[in-house]
Structure 1
Amino acid sequence: MDLQESRAPSAVDGDPAPNPHATAEQVEAARHDSKLAQVLYHDWEAENYDEKWSISYDKRCVDYARDLFDATVPDSEQRRLPYDNALELGCGSGFFLLNLIQAGVARRGSVTDLSPGMVKVAIRNGENLGLNIDGRVADAERIPYDDDTFDLVVGHAVLHHIPDVEQSLREVVRVLKPGGRFIFAGEPTNAGENYARPLSTLTWRAVTNVTKLPGLSGWRRPQAELDESSRAAALEAIVDLHTFSPADLERMSRNAGAVDVSTATTEFTAAMVGWPIRTFEAAVPLGRLGWGWAKFAFNSWITLSWVDANLWSRVVPKGWFYNVMVTGVKPS
């Protein structure tokens, strides 16, 4: 299946319809077609993605998105804000761009994703916020915009899904205006994946087995939902193609033609605790945990993120942190 041909970039009204429930046969076919896997998995997750990852479009996530931007982009660049026209690559539900627009980083923007379901949700989220955005279903290795179109290109947790990351970065540089900047955040590091993924897997197995015990059935999700989550997890293992060292992303960005390239990393202990927490939340019935749990989980992450930024960043090697961010500029 050639996704680039069958899912060619188009206006939203002409985009393929989302497929929210992949069959076992489709999952099996996706094992041999990474781009099909991307579409199936992200269409599957689209409608519940914000809830799954505790994404919001209020002050909490507006501040978080702006903090990522500020941690990656040099202070001297802040004088340029806001950028006039921005693009989010692999937009998901629109988390990064929509919150950056609300944070004053950009005035308006466009969203693209290989998943029709994600583009649909991102546009809907933008409309609900009253923001000026448009969207297209598009392959990140072939961005459907002209040269020199955008002042800023952003992405969050997208590069590790793209088969040819360097080709995608060349496309990013192409669609940027001279002097325009890109920033990609939320990419897993080589070291971080070695502790985050096993912690998540152990948590899932522990919760789904413990909740089989007498008296704990109220904490167990219906078996049909657990089976569907297992199929989604099988797809997730396929769509996560890469992990990176900071040096990897710097090298690929320079090879793609960018200058003023730099990286930053975030989340060390915050990831070690955050992944089990998020997995536990996904393993129990929706609404079972309540507001008190949500407040505890968020405050724990905030506290550990502060510890990571102010203590561990001084003694722990950069590459040991879970998330890496990269930024660069198109030569002017």
Structure 2
Amino acid sequence: MTARPDAPAPNPHATEAQVQAALSDNKLAQVLYHDWEAETYDDKWSISYDERCIAYARGRFDAVVPDAPLPYERALELGCGTGFFLLNLMQSGVAKSGSVTDLSPGMVKVATRNGQNLGLDVDGRVADAETIPYEDDTFDLVCGHAVLHHIPDVELALKECLRVLKPGGRFVFAGEPTTIGDFYARKLGQLTWKVTTEVTKLPFLSDWRRPQEELDESSRAAALEAVVDLHTFDPSELEAIARRAGATEVHAETEEFAAALWGWPVRTFEAAVPDAKLTWRYRMAQYRAWLGLSKLDEKVLRHVVPRQFFYNAMITGVKPGGAGR
């Protein structure tokens, strides 16, 4: 698994001047923020390439395409980050080989390294989602996780996905924030950050406080995050965007309501305290709590709470002209 030799080099330590410039240049912000996050992103979001995340990725796929004939021959992950979605889908048997693309050289570097460590047949390219650098009719599947909300022109990106798909090929995107879900998640995160960073100023809690320079760097990263997160989605409007792009068999699902109300404060707290304080027992307890609340969402709340109130949206569609999968 390799990245192209002419790929730009990552820039993992943006200066304050670069951050200020990025505030008015979205593409620069995307590169700086994701290069900044690349080497620590898997740890930050508890991403792994074992059974836990294989099951999570496959669960997102099956939620919108429960009966796909597998495996797909060749898949592309758009905005791959560290390769979480495609690499885990490949391990679950969804695709035989694939390609990863991202605007961030740092993310492509980590994703290709992760794929190499897993022994998977995947190559990587630094690429803009609005101009995908592959020929027409190349892939059987295009996928992505938490990527569409970073793309300036989502409809154009989906048109590009359909262009590089073979007739009958399918795209599947998961992890996209809903408009209502993003509102309450951000408010909960902001409140948790403020409370945690203030309380840990108390002398008897000083060992729970991260060094100020690390908190300042997190704050600069958060400032970029506010720039790179361009969209939230109403599920019905996301379906309309996919249809305007030319897709057929379009369908959206949502997930995480109780799980999001719990998860966002927990993740923010974890980002505000030293890693050494977060024991294995603590992490497993939080994971089990999230699993339980996710099951509550799936078994009960999805039947009584309107889908637009859930945090994550998933969308799928098919390129016309083939039998579909």
Normalised to the residue count of structure 1, the TM-score between the two structures is 0.95
* Alignment deviations for residues 174-221 of structure 1 (CA, whole Å, 9 cap, x no partner): 000000000000000011011101001111111111000011111000
Q: d(CA) in 1 for partners of 2:293 and 2:269?
A: 18
Could you tell me which of 22, 34, 49 is aligned with 1:42?
Answer: 34
1:93 aligned residue: 82
Q: d(CA) in 2 for partners of 1:200 and 1:44?
A: 20
Could you tell me which of 192, 197, 202 is aligned with 2:186?
Answer: 197
8 Å Cα contact 2:168/2:318 also seen in 1: yes
Gaps of 5+ in 2: none
The answer to whether structure 1 residue 117 and structure 2 residue 112 are counterparts is no
Structure 1 residue 12: deviation in Å?
2.1
Q: d(CA) in 1 for partners of 2:93 and 2:189?
A: 35
1:15 aligned residue: 7
2:58 aligned residue: 66
Q: Secondary structure at the match of 1:215?
A: helix
Q: Which amino acid aligns with 2:35?
A: D
Structure 1 residue 295: deviation in Å?
0.5
Q: d(CA) in 2 for partners of 1:281 and 1:74?
A: 34
The answer to whether structure 1 residue 248 and structure 2 residue 248 are counterparts is no
Could you tell me which of 6, 11, 16 is aligned with 1:24?
Answer: 16
Structure 1 residue 102: deviation in Å?
0.3
Could you tell me which of 152, 160, 163 is aligned with 1:163?
Answer: 152
Q: d(CA) in 1 for partners of 2:105 and 2:211?
A: 28
Q: d(CA) in 1 for partners of 2:106 and 2:91?
A: 23
Q: Secondary structure at the match of 1:265?
A: strand
Structure 1 residue 287: deviation in Å?
2.2
Structure 1 residue 46: deviation in Å?
0.1
Q: d(CA) in 2 for partners of 1:287 and 1:132?
A: 36
Q: d(CA) in 2 for partners of 1:63 and 1:204?
A: 30
The answer to whether structure 1 residue 187 and structure 2 residue 176 are counterparts is yes
Could you tell me which of 216, 219, 222 is aligned with 2:211?
Answer: 222
Q: d(CA) in 2 for partners of 1:11 and 1:304?
A: 39
1:147 aligned residue: 136
Gaps of 5+ in 1: 1-9
Q: d(CA) in 1 for partners of 2:229 and 2:92?
A: 29
Name the Cα RMSD after superposition: 0.9
Could you tell me which of 291, 294, 315 is aligned with 2:280?
Answer: 291
Could you tell me which of 296, 314, 317 is aligned with 1:325?
Answer: 314
Q: d(CA) in 2 for partners of 1:89 and 1:248?
A: 21
The answer to whether structure 1 residue 102 and structure 2 residue 91 are counterparts is yes
Q: d(CA) in 1 for partners of 2:230 and 2:26?
A: 9
1:7 aligned residue: none
Q: Which amino acid aligns with 2:167?
A: P
The answer to whether structure 1 residue 315 and structure 2 residue 304 are counterparts is yes
Structure 1 residue 11: deviation in Å?
5.7
Structure 1 residue 289: deviation in Å?
1.3
Could you tell me which of 290, 302, 310 is aligned with 2:291?
Answer: 302
Could you tell me which of 267, 271, 279 is aligned with 2:256?
Answer: 267
Q: Which amino acid aligns with 1:24?
A: E
Q: d(CA) in 2 for partners of 1:97 and 1:68?
A: 12
2:46 aligned residue: 54
Q: Secondary structure at the match of 2:275?
A: coil
Q: d(CA) in 2 for partners of 1:170 and 1:183?
A: 13
Q: d(CA) in 2 for partners of 1:167 and 1:292?
A: 45
Q: d(CA) in 2 for partners of 1:245 and 1:33?
A: 26
Q: Secondary structure at the match of 2:55?
A: helix
Q: Secondary structure at the match of 1:328?
A: strand
1:33 aligned residue: 25
* Alignment deviations for residues 16-38 of structure 1 (CA, whole Å, 9 cap, x no partner): 11000111111111111111100
Q: d(CA) in 1 for partners of 2:125 and 2:56?
A: 26
Normalised to the residue count of structure 2, the TM-score between the two structures is 0.97
* Alignment deviations for residues 211-261 of structure 1 (CA, whole Å, 9 cap, x no partner): 000111110000010000000000000000000011111111111111000
Q: Which amino acid aligns with 2:233?
A: F
Q: d(CA) in 2 for partners of 1:161 and 1:248?
A: 17
- Runs of 4+ residues over 6 Å off in structure 1: none
